């Protein structure tokens, strides 16, 4: 699993062009995330991670997902999801329900207030994604972006594939 053979393999240094692209990627994702987060926060008091969780819940049957699944869906640690859900619960956007079939299981369930807030926030968010990212690529280019990132996910997988 771990690699202890750093000495044997040549390091594949990036060309100047590749380096430039990598930095654009790094910088671009930072400013994009920051901006989307700020937009949501100022308009609806919701952070991006919180928003993403609400989106997943809104799409799930009964607007309800088990904690671990939720964590996997948004690529966060279980602990982090526990905290995030706790926050959302305090604000009345979500509540915890015992999971039938598994005594250990806890399901996060979206409240009507949560759904209503999400409906508002979605406008802000989608408008941002569209104007900051989608409009900066032709459909073909955007498709390429998706393919690359999908491969990255597959490559890294995190055990879950």
Residues that bind DNA (CB under 7 A): 34, 38, 41, 47, 49, 66-69, 76-87, 96, 99, 102-107
User: CA 151, CA 149: separation in Å to the nearest integer?
Assistant: 5
100's tokens? 């039938």
By beta-carbon proximity to DNA, the closer residue of 95 and 132 is 95
Nearest distance, CB of residue 11 and its own copies, angstroms: 5
Closest to 86 in 3D by CA, of 38, 37, 122, 50: 50
Nearest distance, CB of residue 53 and its own copies, angstroms: 13
Which residues touch 129 (CB under 8 Å, ≥6 apart)?
36
Residue 28 in the binding site for its own copies (CB under 8 A): yes
Among 25, 45, 113, 116, binds its own copies (CB under 8 A): 25
User: CA 99, CA 25: separation in Å to the nearest integer?
Assistant: 41
Residue 86 in the binding site for its own copies (CB under 8 A): no
Residue 123 in the binding site for its own copies (CB under 8 A): yes
CB atoms within 10 A of CB 112: 10
Pairing outcome for strands 64-66 and 106-110: antiparallel
Choices 80-88, 91-99, 109-117, 121-129; region in contact with its own copies by CB under 8 A: 121-129
Among 12, 61, 103, 161, binds its own copies (CB under 8 A): 12
Q: Which of residues 66-85 bind its own copies (CB under 8 A)?
A: 75
Q: Which does 92 bind (CB under 5 to 8 A by kind): its own copies, DNA, none?
A: none
Nearest distance, CB of residue 153 and its own copies, angstroms: 5
Quickly list DSSP for 33-84.
Answer: HHHHHHHHHHHHS--HHHHHHHHHHHHSGGGEEEHHHHHHHHT--HHHHHHH
Residues touching its own copies, count (CB under 8 A)? 58
């Amino acid at each position: 699993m771990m690699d202890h053979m750093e000495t044997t393999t040549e390091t594949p240094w990036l060309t100047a062009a590749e380096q430039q692209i990598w930095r654009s990627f790094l910088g671009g994702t930072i400013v994009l995330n920051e901006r989307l987060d700020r937009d949501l926060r100022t308009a609806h008091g919701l952070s991006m991670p919180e928003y993403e969780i609400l989106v997943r819940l809104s799409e799930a049957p009964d607007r309800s997902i088990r904690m671990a699944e939720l964590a996997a869906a948004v690529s966060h640690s279980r602990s982090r999801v526990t905290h995030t859900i706790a926050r959302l619960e305090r604000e009345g956007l979500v509540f915890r329900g015992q999971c039938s079939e598994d005594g250990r299981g806890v399901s996060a369930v979206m409240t009507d207030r949560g759904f209503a807030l999400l409906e508002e926030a979605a406008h802000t968010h989608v408008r941002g994604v569209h104007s900051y990212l989608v409009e900066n690529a032709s459909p073909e280019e955007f498709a390429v972006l998706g393919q690359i990132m999908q491969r990255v996910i597959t490559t890294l997988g995190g055990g879950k594939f």
